[in-house]
Structure 1
Amino acid sequence: MIRSKRPWRHTFQVALEGIWYTLRTQRNMQVHLGVMFAVTGLGLALGLERTEWFWIGLCITLVIMAELFNTAIETVVDLVMLNPHPLAKIAKDTAAGAVLVAAVFAVIVGVILLGIPVWKLLVN
């Protein structure tokens, strides 16, 4: 096995480059980031408890991770498949489905943790 002589910080640098690439090029990642800031602001305004922040953080992490994996899979498929292929479509659609599953979970958690307190504020 060949060992890399790259410095440890290089690991973080390439990871951040991947995140930055996805943020710059993927509209959905930009939407996810905007929602993340909105939810964080709302959570701060509502004074969420520690366990509620855990669930919010988990949801944000899952959605961002799913979007990063989706971008990676779509990029590799586009690289190796010069012509459309049914299996390439399945790979890309399945990766997009993973993002949808994570996002739906995040919305459900968000409605439970944020929707109810916001509704109570609006009603009173």
Structure 2
Amino acid sequence: MFKVFRSIGYAVEGIWYGVSTQRNMKIHLTVAPIVLILGAIVSLKWVEWCIIILVIAAVMSLELVNTAIEALVDIESPQYQPLAKIAKDVAAGAVLLMAIGSVCIGSIIIVPKLWELLF
């Protein structure tokens, strides 16, 4: 059981590293509570909550994976290497695609309800 808690501790350290060093992770952590508050205001259904929470977790998880890939590439290729650039750019692109997808999903779920509430 101690190993499980130690593993969780390592994971929390990784999340903290991402939060404390990555600008985009800070942006995600700023936007997520706003989305959650809007979800509460418009009274999302449980399925909608599941989708929103899953999308938020996916964006943040991909951001952490991107950070890990960047760190590994920096270890392996301290000097500029075209393939290292590709690895970093592709990882960043994955985060960007998920972030764009999350904005689309959030807009589809929340905006009509918010519009109805306001007008």
User: Larger deviation: 6-15 or 18-27?
Assistant: 6-15
Deviation at 1:116, TM superposition (A): 1.1
CA-atom RMSD, angstroms? 1.0
3-state SS in 2 of match to 1:78: helix
TM-score with structure 2 length normalisation? 0.95
Alpha-carbon offset, residue 7 of structure 1: 2.4
Is 1:45 the equivalent of 2:72? no
Matched, 1:81 2:77: yes
Note the C-alpha offset of 1:86.
Answer: 0.3
1:119: Cα distance to partner? 2.0
Task: Give me the whole-angstrom Cα distance separating, in 2, the residues matched to 1:47 and 1:96.
Answer: 33
Cα distance in 1 for residues equivalent to 2:42 and 2:114: 8
Q: Report how many residues are paired.
A: 118
Distance in 2 (CA, whole Å) between partners of 1:82 and 1:68 is: 20
Distance 1:59 1:95 in 2: 17
Structure 2 counterpart of 1:9, which letter? Answer: F
- Runs (4+) of structure 1 moved beyond 3 Å? none
- Whole-Å separation in 1 of the counterparts to 2:117 and 2:8: 42
* Identical-residue share of aligned pairs (%): 46
Alpha-carbon shift at residue 49 of structure 1 (Å): 0.3
Q: What is the deviation of 1:28?
A: 0.2
Equivalent position amino acid for 2:12 in 1: L
Alignment correspondent of 2:62: 66
Which one has a bigger Cα radius of gyration? 1
